[in-house]
């Protein structure tokens, strides 16, 4: 969790995040099989007004495809809801890409 630690240190030092640092954090969670945390970071990205890029979608698609456990996540959300949220994000990315 070196990446998570470094992101925390960036915040404490006053270094602002950008889409690239958020993508690294999302990728870290997806590689660890914690795709739900990746989507939580995506929520932060959108809330902060940072524009996600196509790479962000690719990271999440890859993490979603590699997820082995499709049972409820740590927040108790069932996978059907995650699929719906993912489709909303996919539509958003298609809109900004045009």
**Global pTM exceeds 0.75:** no
Give the least confident one: 29-38, 54-63, 66-75, 82-91: 66-75
d(CA 54, CA 96): 9
d(CA 98, CA 93): 9
Look at residue 62 and tell me whether its pLDDT is greater than 70: yes
Query: What pLDDT, on the 0 to 100 scale, is given for residue 94?
Result: 67
For 59, other C-beta atoms within 10 Å of its C-beta total 25
Query: What pLDDT, on the 0 to 100 scale, is given for residue 23?
Result: 92
Q: Which residues are CB-contacts of 34 (< 8 A; sequence separation ≥ 6)?
A: none
Bigger pLDDT: 11 vs 42:
42
pLDDT tens column, 4-41:
677 777 777 887 888 998 999 899 988 888 888 888 88
Q: Where are the alpha helices (DSSP H) in the chain?
A: 2-13, 19-31, 35-47, 54-66, 79-97
């Amino acid at each position: 969790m070196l990446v998570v630690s470094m992101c925390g240190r960036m915040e404490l030092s006053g270094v602002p995040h950008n889409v690239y640092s958020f993508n690294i954090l999302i990728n870290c969670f997806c590689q660890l099989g914690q795709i739900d945390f990746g989507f939580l970071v995506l929520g932060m990205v959108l809330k902060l007004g940072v524009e996600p890029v196509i790479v962000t979608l690719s990271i999440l698609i890859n993490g979603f495809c590699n997820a082995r456990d499709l049972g409820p996540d740590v927040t108790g959300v069932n996978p059907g809801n995650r699929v719906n949220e993912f489709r909303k994000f996919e539509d958003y990315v298609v809109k900004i890409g045009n």
